[in-house]
Amino acid sequence: VDAIAAGVCLQRGTNCCTMPMAKVEFDVDLRCRHSVQDLTIDGKYSGAVIFERTTSKLKFTMAKATFATGLTGGVELCFTLDAASACPSLSDLCRGTACTYAVFNDDFSCCPIS
């Protein structure tokens, strides 16, 4: 992840730059259901990992907290991939060299996608 690019809020002056982050969704390979483990946010164990049964969405839900992305340089979200699973690497999980994800607040009024 490019920490400098990730820390820039493209919607400066809007509430989305300092929104309470409730969920992050990744578009992933369906084979990866049991590959993801141990979610941490800024180094602290947090939230739940949910893999939808019928779509290729991997969801990380988290405690309500405000992350001033445009001001502090972003938030570090980390998870572990089981080396013995169907998807031991990010390229397996995301079906290529980049992951597509969306960040949501509680009322879904701000949904930046990367």
Sign of CA dihedral 52, 47, 77, 74: positive
pLDDT (mean) for 12-33: 79
Residue 53 is which amino acid?
A: R
CA geometry: angle at 50 spanning 74 and 72, to 5°? 5
DSSP state, residue 72: H
Which pLDDT does position 12 carry in this prediction? 63
Q: Give φ, ψ of 81 to 5 degrees.
A: -105, 130
Split at pLDDT 50, 70, 90, the class of 93 is: very high
Split at pLDDT 50, 70, 90, the class of 69 is: very low
- Average per-residue pLDDT for the chain: 76
**The pair of three-digit structure tokens given for residue 69, joined into one six-digit string:** 């992305």
